[in-house]
Structure 1
């Protein structure tokens, strides 16, 4: 059997990433597509008013909004992202996400690797 590095999504088929995760009332829904020591790729769907509180990451985090509008706060600075807009949240800087309306996003985190 061949290794699968990207999971929970169809291979060799054109798809809409936004269609791969559903908004659920009162929830933040996530779907992991890849997770290892080098990279994490996750789809998220936020119901209006839901949030991920302030935290930081060991890796650089890149968010791309797929539907709706999300408010991202990075080191105290707010950014409003609309569909097809991307923001890099640098490693070790505090950041948070808030859904001022229903929205979906893809998160890619690239983690530091030991160079030994």
Structure 2
């Protein structure tokens, strides 16, 4: 796929996003689908007990759980999301992800554009 804006995934084919990343023991597996100054789209697969520690982002982050259940902490508040549920984690607010069980998610981050 020459000049594809969305990469690492088949175009013009119906797929399951969850099937595009594999849970591996003791790991957080990620697969970047798009990355530029405006947006980032990444699939993640978390093994049970794995986490991404607290951090923040300059953009709004939208997570959608694809399979299993994920625990998200945003600005000190815990949220538990099941498959097909979505949460927006606002820009510049600390957030973390924890896998109480294996789960998969899609992360879309929309970054601010220069507004001068």
TM-score by length of 2: 0.98
Q: Does 1:92 align with 2:92?
A: yes
Q: Does 1:69 align with 2:69?
A: yes
Shift of 1:2: 5.0
Which residue of 2 is the match for residue 15 of structure 1?
15
**Structure 1: tracts of 5 or more residues without a match:** none
SS of structure 2 residue aligned to 1:49: coil
Deviation above 3 Å: which 4+ runs of structure 1?
Answer: none
SS of structure 2 residue aligned to 1:18: helix
Tell me the distance in 2 between the aligned counterparts of 1:56 and 1:26: 24
Which residue of 1 is the match for residue 54 of structure 2?
54
Shift of 1:11: 0.1
Shift of 1:97: 0.1
Which residue of 1 is the match for residue 42 of structure 2?
42
Cα root mean square deviation, aligned: 1.0
Number of aligned positions between the proteins? 116
Deviations along 1:28-57, one digit per CA (max 9) or x if unpaired, are 000000000000000000000000000000
Which residue of 2 is the match for residue 29 of structure 1?
29
SS of structure 2 residue aligned to 1:69: strand
